[in-house]
Structure 1
Amino acid sequence: MRISRLLLSLVFVVAFSGCSTLNVSSRQFIPKDAGKLALLKKSAPDYQVDNIEFKHPDGAISRGVYIHKPDAQFTVLYFMGSGIRLDVAGGYFAKPFTELNANIISYDYHDFGRSDAPESAFGLAELEKETLALYDHARATTKGRLVVHGHSFGSFVAAGLAGKRPLDALVLEGTGTSARDYVENQVPWFAKPFVQINIDPELSSTDNRTALRAFQGPLLIMNGVNDVQTPLANSRELFDSLNIPHKRFEAIREAGHMNAMTKPEALSAYRDFIGVVQ
C-alpha cells in the first residue's frame, strides 16, 4: 500500500537522522490517484476522450483511448512503459500532449489493463504483430501527421515499429541501446555484485540500434538527466550510433524517468521538432 511505503520511508529517515518526532497527517491516509484519465476534464476541457478498441485476428482485443479536439495540429500514437495502464496513468502522460495541441491515441498492452486476450503463447514476436496492426489502423484512420512516441519499454516497441513502417516522425523517451542494458539498469548499483541476470534469447536480441538501422525519418530522443532506469549515457549512445539525416537529442534537466515530458524544455524541444516534420 502507498501509505505503508510512505510510513516505512519516514521511519528510516527518522532512524538514520536521529530525530525523535514523526508527524503524520490524515491526508497521508486518503487515497489519491494523480494520473487518472478523468483529470483531463479539468486540465484539458477542450478535449474529448473516446474509448476505442481493435480486434486482432486471434481474438485478442486491444482497448485504449482517443483523446482529441478538432483543431489539434498533429496526432501522437503513444506506447507506454511496461506495467503502465491507461486508467492509472493516462491522464498524467496525456496532459503534456494536450499542451502541445496534439491528439493522443494509446492502447493498453496485450491482456493488460483494459485489453483482453485468449489463453495462448505470447511473446515479443506476437507483440510486434499487434503493434504493426495498431499502427496500420491508426494511420488509416488519422488525418495529417502521426507521430509515434515510445516511453521506456514502449521506446523498444516504437523502435521495432519504425523498422517496419515509414513513420512521419519518431520520438523515443527514456530509452537506451538494448533490452539487456535496460534490464540491468533496473538492478540498483549496490545489488549488482550479488545478482546474476539471465536473459532469454528472444529478449537479449532486442536492440534499438539494430531496429533503427534502416530508419530515415525524423527522430527525437529525450532523456531525463537524473534518469537511473534508462541513464542518459545509454540514450546518448543510441543517438550517436544512428545515421539519420534529421535527428535531435534532448537532455532534460531536473527530470527522471517518468517526468521528462512535464518539463518546459521538453515541450519546447517537441514543438521545434514537430515544426520541421512535414
Structure 2
Amino acid sequence: MQNTVKQFITVVMISTAMLIISGCTVRLTEASFIAHDKAPVAFSTEFTQALQLAMPNNAIIPQSLEASDHVKLNGFFIDNPNSNTTLVFYQGNGMKIQPHCLSALTTLSTLNTDILVMDRRGIGASEGKPQIKNILSDAQQQLDYLQQHFQPEKIILHGYSLGSFIAADLARNNKVDALVLQGSATNADDWVDEKTPWYMAPFMTLEMPQDFRNIDNQQVVAQSYSGPLLVIAAEDDKEVPPALAEKLFAASKSANKQLIMVPNVGHQGMLDDVTTMQQYQDFITEL
C-alpha cells in the first residue's frame, strides 16, 4: 500500500493550487489505487527452493486456481505436518509473493500453522485486472477451496494493510476462528481524512467509488464479527496512522480481542518484533 499512498498524496499536493483556483474534485479510482502489473510472472524455481530452505520441515505446495471468469490465480499452500490450523495471509497493495513475501512467510511459519497465500489477481503470478468486487470474489473462492481440499480444523484470516479489508470482508460472511488485522485502517474515508494535511482539506473534494466505501473494517468488527480479534499496529506508521488501529480495536464487540502496538517501527517490520510474534503465538494457542 505504501508506494501507492505516497503517489496519491503527491498527486493531491501537486493539485492543491489548481484546487484552490478551480475547485476541482480529486477522484480516487480503482485503476489508480489498486496496484497491478502488465502481465503475470510465474514463480521461479529459485524462489520456491528459497521457501523450502526457509521452512525445511514444511511442504511447499504450489496452488493454481481458476476464478469464476477463468482468470488463473497462483500461490502456495505451506503444509506444516503437525498442524490442522490454516492461516490465510492477504498481502498489502503491490505486495507480491515473489519477491516481497519470503521474510513475512518465514516469520509466520514460526506460528506452526499451515499457510495459504495467493497473489491476488493482476499482480505477481496471477492474471487479470483487479477491482474491489473481483478481488473479494476471488478471496471467497480461495477460502471455499481451502475448506474443500484441505479441511482445516481452524482458520485464521490475517490481512496486512489493504489485505486487511479482504480478511475482514470474509470474516463478515464466513465462520472463521480468528481475524488478524495488521497495519489496518478503519475505512477509506477515515484513512483519507488522516492522510490529508489540514491546510489542504478546505480546498479538496474527494470522490471515490462506492465499492471503496463498502469495505469497512470498523463496521465489520462493530456489527458483524465478534470472534477472536488481534489488531497489530506500529507506533511510527506514517502510511496508516496507528490512531485508526486504536479506533478499530475500540469499535470491536469481540470478547476476545487484543491490540499490539509495535514500538519503533513503521508500516513495515511489525512482524520482525520478537515480542509481537510471541504475543501472536499466545493468541493462536488460546483459540
TM-score under structure 2 normalisation? 0.76
Amino acid across the alignment from 2:92: G
The C-alpha deviation readout for 1:87-138, integer Å capped at 9, x for no partner, is 1112021011122222211111112211113x7xx53222222111111111
Aligned residue for 2:242?
Answer: 232
Partner Cα distance (1:191, 1:63) in 2: 44
CA contact (8 A) 1:166 1:217 kept: no
Q: Determine which structure has greater relative contact order: mean sequence separation of CA pairs < 8 Å that are 6+ residues apart, divided by chain length.
A: 2
Task: Say which of 93, 117, 133 aligns to 1:82.
Answer: 93
Partner Cα distance (1:72, 1:248) in 2: 23
Query: 5+ residue gaps in structure 2?
Result: 1-46
Partner Cα distance (2:85, 2:264) in 1: 28
Aligned residue for 2:56?
Answer: 45
Aligned residue for 2:212?
Answer: 203
The C-alpha deviation readout for 1:223-268, integer Å capped at 9, x for no partner, is 1111111111111101101111111111111222121111111111
Give, in angstroms, the shift of residue 73 of structure 1.
6.1
Aligned residue for 1:106?
Answer: 117
CA contact (8 A) 1:221 1:248 kept: yes
Partner Cα distance (1:142, 1:86) in 2: 24
Amino acid across the alignment from 2:104: F
CA contact (8 A) 2:84 2:152 kept: no
Identical amino acids, percent of aligned pairs: 23
Query: 5+ residue gaps in structure 1?
Result: 1-35
Structure 1 residues 208 and 45, CA, compared in 2 at 3 Å: closer, same or farther? same
Structure 1 residues 82 and 69, CA, compared in 2 at 3 Å: closer, same or farther? same
Structure 1 residues 43 and 192, CA, compared in 2 at 3 Å: closer, same or farther? farther
CA RMSD across the alignment: 2.3
Partner Cα distance (2:195, 2:59) in 1: 36
Q: How many residues align?
A: 238
The C-alpha deviation readout for 1:134-168, integer Å capped at 9, x for no partner, is 11111222332221100000001111111100111
Aligned residue for 1:139?
Answer: 147
Q: Is 1:221 the equivalent of 2:231?
A: yes
Amino acid across the alignment from 1:93: A
TM-score under structure 1 normalisation? 0.78
Give, in angstroms, the shift of residue 186 of structure 1.
5.6
Partner Cα distance (1:248, 1:89) in 2: 27
